Amino acid sequence: MLNCRQATELLCQARDGRLTRLQRLRLRLHVFLCRYCAAMEKNFETLGQLVRTRIGSKEEDQSHDALKNEVLKTLEEQENQGDRDQ
């Protein structure tokens, strides 16, 4: 069984499509059983969408700061919702 740190690393790698079939399976199992990592995975999806949106936008000068703020805000919101078991 993965621990949360390993699961988070796999989530990062999954975004780049670098997981083996076995890794993906173990990650899915962990996310299924762990609410914290399930929230984290959702977070990653949101962040990925933000990045794509920003890359497609024309405000390139501001995009880095704006993206950083949005990411921080999203993470904070996620944390405020946090009812972690651990």
Contact residues: Zn ion, CB under 5 A: 4, 7, 34, 36-37
Q: How far apart are the first and last CA of the chain?
A: 16
Q: Which is nearer to Zn ion, 29 or 55 (CB)?
A: 29
- Nearest distance in Å: CB 15, Zn ion: 17
Do 19 and 27 form a contact (C-beta atoms < 8 A)?
Answer: yes
Q: What CA–CA distances, in Å, run from 8 to 23, 60, 84?
A: 12, 29, 15
Q: Which is nearer to Zn ion, 14 or 67 (CB)?
A: 14
Q: Which is nearer to Zn ion, 65 or 81 (CB)?
A: 81
- Nearest distance in Å: CB 82, Zn ion: 13
- Nearest distance in Å: CB 6, Zn ion: 9
